[in-house]
Amino acid sequence: MKKAVVLLAILSAALSAALWMNRQNAEGQIHRAEAEISTLSNRLADAEMKLNHQERMNLSLGSNLTNRTDELAKSASGLAKVRTSLAQAQAETRAVQAELQRARAQSQAVQTQVLALTNHIDELTAEGSRKDRETALTQAQLAGAEARQQALSYQLGELQRENDRMARQLRDPELLRAQIEALKKQYAAAAESKRAASGRPDYRQDLELLPDGNVQFVSPAFSEPPPPSNPFPTPNP
What is the CA angle 59-65-66, rounded to 5? 90
Task: Tell me if 203 is assigned to some domain.
Answer: no
Task: Tell me if 8 is assigned to some domain.
Answer: no
Q: What is the number of domains present in the chain?
A: 1
What is the pLDDT at residue 145?
A: 86
What is the pLDDT at residue 218?
A: 56
| Residue-range definition of the domain harbouring residue 71 | 16-154
Task: Tell me if 69 is assigned to some domain.
Answer: yes
Task: Tell me if 212 is assigned to some domain.
Answer: no
Task: Tell me if 138 is assigned to some domain.
Answer: yes
For the chain, 237 residues long, the average pLDDT of each consecutive 10-residue run is: 73 80 81 83 84 84 83 86 90 90 89 90 89 88 87 87 77 72 80 70 53 54 43 41
What is the pLDDT at residue 236?
A: 43
Name the percent of the chain in helix, strand, coil, to the closest 5: 85, 5, 15
Task: Tell me if 135 is assigned to some domain.
Answer: yes
What is the pLDDT at residue 95?
A: 92
> What's the farthest any 2 CA atoms get from each other in the chain?
257
Q: What is the DSSP string of 80-142?
A: HHHHHHHHHHHHHHHHHHHHHHHHHHHHHHHHHHHHHHHHHHHHHHHHHHHHHHHHHHHHHHH
Task: Tell me if 206 is assigned to some domain.
Answer: no
Task: Tell me if 198 is assigned to some domain.
Answer: no
SS3 217: strand
